[in-house]
Amino acid sequence: MIRFMVCFAAVAVLLALATLSLAQDFSADVVNLKRENSGSSKVYATKDKVRFEMSSEKQQMGPSAIIIDETQHSWIVLMAERHMYMDAMPAMRKMPLVSQFWRVQDVDDACPQWKKAAEESSSAKNWGSCTKVGADTVNGRSAVKYEGVSSKGDKGYVWIDRKLHCVIKTDETNGGMELRNIKEESQPASLFEIPAGYTKFDMGMMMHQQQQ
């Protein structure tokens, strides 16, 4: 259970998109380019909030979701199969703000923003170079493609949606993701709230029970 939540949270950090100052709401399917049959994932974005949800490969776990509210600095993990929720673990909250990488202010000159984000996080040692490749199209949407090279020489590519100002595709040696079926429409406020009837999960109590 704990391992699943940690992995789930890590994926959410990589895939949660377009939070601060986003002009329009949208939803999209999130596709793992290396494992397209890894389960269904979805992202919902509205201004300063984002919800990422996915179904576990283990059916007994049921669907889960993480809601990020950057104005309130809150990360809430929802566990649908238990009708419970929990605050994100401290290690997650110490990670760089999602918007520092995924939410791009200048679509045509994103490298300085990404470099600054790297310098403010523990990932600075991996920074190598960042180069704008040029205009491209992803699933019919206008995008700008960038190439990044790590300090070890590993290459990766990132595509930014011109209209949404967020990353909609990544392609790296060890992984990659893509947003598909993007729908620009108002998102219900209930998506970004703790559902009625959910109780708070007590991690300390669960660990105590496991020790017994």
Q: Are 128 and 111 in contact (CB under 8 A)?
A: no
pLDDT (tens digit, 9 = 90+) per residue, 157-170? 999 999 998 899 99
pLDDT (tens digit, 9 = 90+) per residue, 31-90? 888 775 556 689 898 888 889 887 755 544 456 888 988 777 788 989 888 899 988 765
Amino acid (1-letter code) at residue 44: Y
CA dihedral 39, 179, 92, 148 (to 10 degrees): 120
Q: What angle do CA 99, 33, 171 make, to 5 degrees?
A: 55
The model's pTM: 0.75
CA distances from 205 to 7, 28, 199, 202, 212 (A): 21, 36, 14, 5, 11
Amino acid (1-letter code) at residue 74: S
pLDDT at 97 over 50: no
Q: What residues form DSSP beta bridges with 69?
A: 49, 74
CA distances from 148 to 4, 30, 72, 141 (A): 30, 22, 32, 21
Higher local confidence (pLDDT), 28 or 63: 28
Q: What is the pLDDT of residue 89?
A: 62
Higher local confidence (pLDDT), 39 or 107: 107
pLDDT at 3 over 80: no
pLDDT at 151 over 80: yes
Mean pLDDT of 125-134: 88
Mean pLDDT of 189-206: 84
Q: What angle do CA 191, 195, 196 make, to 5 degrees?
A: 145
Extents of the domains making up the chain: 2-193
**CA atoms of 45 and 168, how far apart (whole Å):** 13
**The domain 2-193 belongs to what CATH superfamily?**
Lipoprotein localisation LolA/LolB/LppX (2.50.20.10)
